[in-house]
Amino acid sequence: MTHERQYREPRAAAIFRYTTDAVRNSRHTDASFASAVAETYMAQVAPEERTTQFHVGTDADSIAKAEKANAKLIERFRNGTVKLPADLEEAWVESLPEPWRLDCARALARRYGFIGARAPDTGIAGQLLCTARVAIEFGQALQAIAEINSDGVVDAQDLPRIRRALAEYRALGAEVVTQKATLQAELDRLEAEIRRGPLGVVA
C-alpha cells in the first residue's frame, strides 16, 4: 500500500500568509509594508552581509521611486518569483504590525518544537505587562471555547472555531511560561541580594 507523503507548508508561505492578513486588516498597505521591511532590514543587516538590495532615495522624487521599486521587490518574494532569503526573514517578521508579528513568530518557533514564549521581562513594567497579556489571552481562550459551545453541538462547522481555540490556548500557554520565567528571574535576583547581605558580602 502506497502512502502519500504529507509535506509541510513552506516556511516562507507561512510568513506570507500572516503578511497578507496583516496588510488586509491593518493600517499597512503593500507599499508601506515594503518600506518597513526595507528600513528594518537595512538597519539590522550590515551592507556587506545583505543578499537583498533595497532602493534608497535622497529627495522626494527618488524616495517615491525607491518605495515603488521596493514594493515590487517585496511582491516578487510574496508571489514566489524570487525565493525569500534567510537573512531577510527576521526583518520581515519584525515589520509586521501586532498581533500578526507575535502570531507569526510563534508559528515559526513551533516549527522547531518550541511554544513561542517571550524572554522574561523583569521590572515592574515588564511584570505588569506580562500579567496583562496572560489575562487577555485567558479571556480570548474562554471566548473561543464559548463560541464552539454556543449552539450545544460540536460538528464540522465548528472546525474554524476549534482551530482558533487551539491557537488561543497555545498563546495563553506561551504567556504563562513567560510570566513564570519572569517571576523566577525576580526570585533569583532577590535571593542573590539576600545572600550578599547589606554590605555586599555573600552570607
More confident residue, 73 or 124: 73
Report the pLDDT value the prediction gives residue 171, as an integer from 0 to 100: 82
- Residue 135 scores a pLDDT above 90: no
Average pLDDT, the chain: 87
The region that residue 100 occupies, defined by phi over 0 for left and psi between -120 and 50 for alpha, beta otherwise, is: alpha
Q: What is the pLDDT of residue 17?
A: 95
Residue % of the chain over a pLDDT of 90: 46
The better pLDDT of the pair 14, 127 is held by 14
Q: Where are the domains of the chain?
A: 11-110, 124-196
pTM (two decimals): 0.68
Using alpha carbons, select from 87, 89, 77, 74 the residue that is nearest to residue 46.
Answer: 87
d(CA 185, CA 195): 15
The yes-or-no verdict on residue 72 having pLDDT over 90 is yes
203 falls in which pLDDT band (50, 70, 90)? low
pLDDT at 163 over 70: yes
pLDDT tens, position by position, 6-47:
788 999 999 999 999 999 999 999 999 999 999 999 999 999
Query: Is pLDDT of 188 > 80?
Result: yes
CA dist., res. 128 & res. 201, Å (int): 32
